[in-house]
Amino acid sequence: MTDRMTQHIDGTTRLAGVIGWPLQHTLSPAMHNAAYRALGLDWAYVPLPLREAGDLPAVAEALRALSFVGFNVTMPYKARMLDLCDEVAVQARLAGSVNTVHVKDGTLIGYNTDGRGFLESLSVDVGFEPAGCRAVVIGSGGAAGAAVVALVLARAAHVSVVSRRIEPAQAIVERVLAYAGQTALTAALLDETSFGLISEADLIVNATSLGMREDDPLPLDPSGLREEQVVYDVVYSPDPTALVIAARERGLRACNGLGMLVGQGAVSIEIWKNAGVTVVPRDVMRAAAIEALRARADGTAEVA
């Protein structure tokens, strides 16, 4: 309720938003509008729920025509957005998905800010720097692709993409391989044969949606985890996730994906504002996200 009561909107207000389905529980409007107020920006951020994938091209064209400052894209449209942008940053192309679009002079420019948010959160939330590490990324969707690209840019020594289907995992490796430098990349099935990869890793990343629902199984068997390892779960609700709880019980450093969500949103604002904003207040955005999560848990959140 705070956002709607204090947000002044008139004919000069610039709009931003997030496209996805469903969006009932998105934290992005709370985070973004809090940041805009802190920065003194006459902007407003709105949810843009889109049920039918076939309507995505028309919506993208509408946002171009309406002169949105930019918009975010979340599940299940990140990969589809790649082909709808006029220009796509290399990092987004390698990740295989676009989660941030800058509407600049009528041009749609696609970025992937998930990787930047992921690396920020690894450093801030668990104090882990990936340079020289061995990492396993579980999953083969947009979040997995972004994590793999980020780990390559951070000069990880070895990254394994582990998935229940080998083809999409191999596709990530093939996209990134030419840019991998000294980082070794492999793809493997998530089964008993990948246990060795997971047990030898310094960093284990759950880049699947497993954990969002109460009855979800864990994405991996925690019994083989070692205290020296770090576990990062891109799922941010519930807090902590079942995987984070299991890892911490075994003495590991572990965190959920709230920091990644905050980081990718902050980088989106930096892109939309160009050089006009030097530092987007991550602390303000995180506090707004936590408040929204608590309101949801208490049943006091507004219905969008």
* pLDDT, tens digit, 9 for 90 and up, residues 40-82: 999 999 999 999 999 999 999 999 999 799 999 999 999 999 9
Peptide bond into 29 cis (omega under 30): no
Burial class (CB in 10 A: 0-12, 13-18, 19+), 127: exposed
Can you give the residue ranges of every domain in the chain? 2-112+262-298, 115-256
Residue 5 has pLDDT above 70, yes or no: no
Task: Give the mean model confidence (pLDDT) for residues 161-177.
Answer: 96
Pairing mode of beta strands 158-163, 134-138: parallel
Task: Give the mean model confidence (pLDDT) for residues 7-31.
Answer: 92
Residue 161 has pLDDT above 50, yes or no: yes
Task: Give the mean model confidence (pLDDT) for residues 197-202.
Answer: 94
Is there a common fold for 2-112+262-298 and 115-256?
A: yes
Are 21 and 44 spatial neighbours (Cβ–Cβ below 8 Å)? no
Q: In what order do the strands lie in the sheet with 203-206?
A: 184-189, 158-163, 134-138, 203-206, 230-233, 253-255
104 is catalytic: no
- The single residue of 16, 20, 71, 78 carrying the catalytic annotation is 78
Q: Tens of pLDDT along 149-159?
A: 999 999 999 99
Question: 244: closest CA among 277, 198, 211?
Answer: 211
- Within the chain, strands assigned E span 14-20, 43-49, 70-73, 87-88, 100-104, 107-111, 134-138, 158-163, 184-189, 203-206, 230-233, 253-255
Provide the CATH topology of domain 2-112+262-298.
Rossmann fold (3.40.50)
Are 273 and 16 spatial neighbours (Cβ–Cβ below 8 Å)? no
Q: Tens of pLDDT along 227-254?
A: 999 999 999 988 899 999 999 999 999 9
Rounded distance between C-alpha atoms, residue 96 and residue 176, angstroms: 10
Rounded distance between C-alpha atoms, residue 221 and residue 274, angstroms: 44
May I ask the CATH class of domain 115-256? alpha beta
Q: Which residues contact 298 (CB under 8 A, 6 or more apart)?
A: none
